[in-house]
Chains A and B, each alone.
Chain A
Amino acid sequence: MKEQEPVVFVIDDDRMIRDGLQSLIRSVGLRVETFPSAQEFLSMKRPDVPACLILDVRMPGLSGLDLQLKLRDGGIPIPIIFITGHGDIPMSVRAMKEGAHEFLTKPVRGQDLLDAVQKAIVSDRALRQERQEIGEIRGRFESLTPREIEVLNLVVAGLLNKQIADQLGMSELTVKTHRAHVMEKTQADSLAQLVRMAERLKASARK
C-alpha cells in the first residue's frame, strides 16, 4: 500500500493569516487547503488521507468550537489544532475536553505550529491505521454464524471444549469443528491472537 500524502486544512476568516499559515506549512512540504469559513470546509468533499485541521476559534458564522462539535457528532474524526487571539482558560478547557489536539494563542510561533501539525498527522495516521484494522477484523467476525459466535464467546471466556459442549448441548466433536471454522474465518493463527482481536473489537465498540 502506497503511503498516502497527508493534508492540512486551515480555516481562518483572515486572508492574510490564512496565506501566511499556508505558506509556512507548504514550506515544510505538506499539502495545504485553506477555507475562509467553517461552512465552506463542511461543504467540501474531503480526501481520505491522514489530515489535521487548524482552526481559528473566533470566526463569524460557525465558530471553531461549534465546528468541533459538528465534526464529532458527524463521526468525522480529525485532529484539531485551535488558534485563538484571546486564549481564555474555560474556552481552552472546553476545547481540550472535546478532544482538541492542541490549543495555541495568536500570534503563533511558526515552529510551535509546525510541531503541532506533525504530531497531529502522526496521531491521525495511527488512528486511521487502527480504524482500518478494526474494520477488517469486524468484517471477518461478521462472517461468523450465530452458532460460531456462541462458541467464540465461550472460547474467549477461557472454557475448554468439553465445558463448551456441555453448556451448548452438543458433542465435543461439533465444538471442535465450529472452533476450527472460527479460527479459519477470523484468520487467527493462535488462540491468543483470537482473544486479542475479540478484545480490540469490544474496545472499539465501547468508544
Chain B
Amino acid sequence: MPSNPETTVKREFFRYGLAIGLVFLALLASLALQGSIGNPFWFFFSAAVILSTWLGGTGPGWLAVFCSALAVTYYFTPPLRSFAVAPSEFPYFVTFIACEVGVNQLISWRRRTEDSLRQARDELEVRVTERTAELKNANDALVRQMAEQKRTEDTLQTTRAELARAARITTIGELTASIAHEVNQPLAAVVANADACVAWLSRETPDLFEARSAAERATQGATRASEVIARIRSLITKATPGKSHVHINQIIEQTILIAESQAARNHVTIALNLVPDLPVVLGDSIQLQQVILNLVMNGIEAMTSVTDRPKLLTLRSAREDKEQIRVSVQDSGIGLNEEVMSRLFEPFFTTRMQGMGMGLSISRSIIEAHGGRLWGESNGSGGATFQFTLPGGDR
C-alpha cells in the first residue's frame, strides 16, 4: 500500500504508543485489583500483549512484552519496587515471560496468516474483476465480429451476383469481338478477291484465267465465313447448361425482384397474374430468368414516352394445353408497327439509342433450345405482348 513517509511515521508512533498505553492500563488495573482478587497481572498483561500484537503488529507486541516484563519485575515479583528478581521467583517470572512471548508469537502468526489470507482474497477479487472485464471485452468483440461477418457475407452475396452478371456481359462482349474478327477475316478475303476478279475482267483484254481463280477464292472466303457462323451456332447450342426442374412462377417472381427498381424509376406498375400449380419445366433457370428479364425491360422501355395512360406491365403464367405452359408479358407502351414487327427477332435490330439489338434474338434462341416458342404481337388497345411457351417437364 503506497503512503507518504509522514503518515507512516505517525502510524508507527501510534502503534508503539498504543502498546505502551495498553501495558500502562494493564499495570493500573493490576495494581487496583491486586488486593481483591489475588494476583491478576497475568491476565491484564497478557491481554495488553494480545491487544498490542493484534492491533499494532509484531513490533509493538515485543514492546508490550518488554514493558510488561519490566512492570512485573518492578511491581509484582519480590523484591517489590525493584527491578531485581529473587532467585525463588525466577521460574515463576521466566514462565510469565515465556507465556507472554508465546502469546505474542501466536498472535503475530495469526495476524500474518490472516493478512496474507486477506491479501490473497483481495488479489483474487481483483483478478476476478479483471477476468470478468476481459471476458466481457472478448464477448463484445465476438458479437462485433459476428455482425461484421454477417455484413461481409451479405456483401459477398451481392458481389457474387454482380460478378456473375458482369461475367455474362464480358463473355458476350468477348464473344462478339471474337466473332467479329472471325467473320471479318474471310469477308476481307471475299472483298479483295472479288475486287481482283472485277479488275481482271475490266482490263483491255480481260484475263479470264486470273478472274476465274479470284472468283473461286472469293467463293472459298464466303464458305469459310458461313462455316465460322455454323461453328458459333453449334457452340451456343452445346453450351446450354444443365437443365433442372424449375417452377416458372418462382422464376417470374425472382425476376420481378431484379426489375422492380427499374420499374419504380420509370413509374411503371407491375402486375402479376400467375396460375398456381403449373407443371414444372425442364430448363435452365438462369437462362429463363434472362428471357423474362429481357421481356420485362423491353416492356418498361416501351412505356418511357407514354403519358396519357397508366404505365402497366402485366406478367401472366398459364397452362397452354395439356403439355405446355405459357408466359406472357404485356405492356401499355408504344406498340409495334409493321416494319418493326417484321424485323423484331433479327440480330442487331434495335429501335433504341443504346440497344445492341441482341435481346430478343438471344431470347428466342434460348426458348427454342428449351423446345418452346417466343413471339410478339400488338395489343388492340396499344402496347405489345410478348409471350413464350415451354413444354412441361413432368410428362
Residues of A within 8 A of B (CB): 14, 16-17, 19-21, 23-24, 26-28, 83, 85-86, 106-111, 113
* Closest-CB distance, B221 to chain A (whole angstroms): 5
Quick one: closest B residue to A16, CB to CB?
A: B189
Give the CA-CA distance A16 to B196 in the complex, in Å: 12
From residue B3, how far is it (CB to closest CB) to chain A in Å?
A: 82
**13 CB < 8 A contacts A-B:** A16-B186, A19-B193, A19-B217, A20-B195, A23-B200, A23-B217, A24-B192, A24-B193, A85-B181, A86-B177, A107-B187, A108-B188, A108-B191
Q: CA of A109 to CA of B195 in the docked complex: distance in angstroms? A: 7
Whether A110 pairs with B191 at a CB distance below 8 angstroms is yes
Contact A85 B196, beta carbon cutoff 8 Å? no
Complex Cα spacing A33 to B220, Å: 22
B42 to chain A, nearest CB (A): 116
User: Which B residues, 306 to 343, have Cβ-Cβ distances below 8 Å to chain A?
Assistant: none
Known: A27-B203, A106-B185, A110-B198. 8 other contacts (CB 8 A): A14-B188, A16-B217, A16-B221, A20-B191, A20-B217, A20-B221, A23-B197, A109-B195
Residue among B192, B198, B199, B213 with max Cβ neighbours from chain A (10 Å): B192
Q: Is the CB of B187 within 8 A of A23?
A: no
* Chain B count of residues within 8 A CB distance of the other chain: 30
Known A-B contacts A85-B181, A86-B181; the reply to A107 vs B196 at CB < 8 A is: no
Q: Number of A-B pairs whose CB atoms are under 8 Å?
A: 85
A16 touches B195 (CB 8 A): no
Which B residues, 179 to 224, have Cβ-Cβ distances below 8 Å to chain A? 180-181, 184-200, 203, 207, 210, 213-214, 217-218, 220-221, 224
Quick check: A17 and B195 within 8 Å, CB to CB? Answer: no
B192 touching A111 by the CB < 8 A rule? no
Q: Which residue of A lies closest to B182 (CB)?
A: A85
**Pairwise interchain contact B184-A85, C-beta atoms closer than 8 A:** yes
B181 touches A17 (CB 8 A): no
Q: Closest Cβ of chain B: how far from A132's Cβ, in Å?
A: 33
Chain B residues engaging chain A, CB cutoff 8 angstroms: 177, 180-181, 184-200, 203, 207, 210, 213-214, 217-218, 220-221, 224
Give complex CA distance A83, B189 in Å: 12
Q: Which residues of B contact A20 (CB under 8 A)?
A: 189, 191-193, 195-196, 214, 217-218, 221
In the bound assembly, the distance between CA atoms of A111 and B199 in angstroms comes to: 9
Q: Once the chains bind, are B210 and A27 in contact (CB under 8 Å)? A: yes
Given contacts A16-B221, A17-B185, A107-B188, contact A27 B193 (CB under 8 A): no
Q: Are B213 and A107 in contact (CB under 8 A)?
A: no
In angstroms, Cα B163 to Cα A10, docked, is: 44
Q: Chain A residue with minimal CB distance to B224?
A: A16
Beta-carbon nearest neighbor of A20 in chain B: B192
- B199 to chain A: which residues have CB within 8 Å? 24, 27-28, 110
B298 to chain A, nearest CB (A): 30
Instruction: Determine the distance from Cα of A50 to Cα of B220 in the docked complex, in whole angstroms.
Output: 33
Complex interface: chain B residues within 8 A of A111 (CB): 195
CB contacts (< 8 Å) of B195 on chain A: these are 20, 24, 109-111, 113
Question: Once bound together, how far apart are the Cα atoms of A23 and B186, in whole Å?
Answer: 16
Q: How far is the CA of A127 from the CA of B146 in the complex (A)?
A: 77
- Report the separation of the CA atoms of residues A17 and B220 in the bound assembly, to the nearest whole angstrom: 11
**Contacts known (A19-B217, A20-B214, A110-B196); A85 close to B191, Cβ less than 8 A:** no
- State A93–B193 Cα separation when bound (angstroms): 29
Q: Are B220 and A16 in contact (CB under 8 A)?
A: yes
Residue pair A17, B184 in contact (C-beta under 8 Å): no
The 7 A-B residue pairs with the shortest CB-CB distance, nearest first, are A110-B195, A20-B192, A27-B199, A107-B191, A24-B196, A16-B189, A20-B193
> In the bound complex, what is the Cα–Cα distance between A113 and B87 (angstroms)?
147
Residues of B within 8 A of A113 (CB): 192, 195
**Bound complex: CA A109 to CA B199 (Å):** 12
CA separation between A108 and B192, bound complex, in Å?
Answer: 7
Query: Among the listed A23, A26, A28, A106, which residue makes an inter-chain contact with B188, where contact means beta carbons less than 8 Å apart?
Result: A106
Interchain CA distance A108-B214 in the complex, whole Å: 16
- Return A63 CB to nearest CB of chain B, in Å: 15
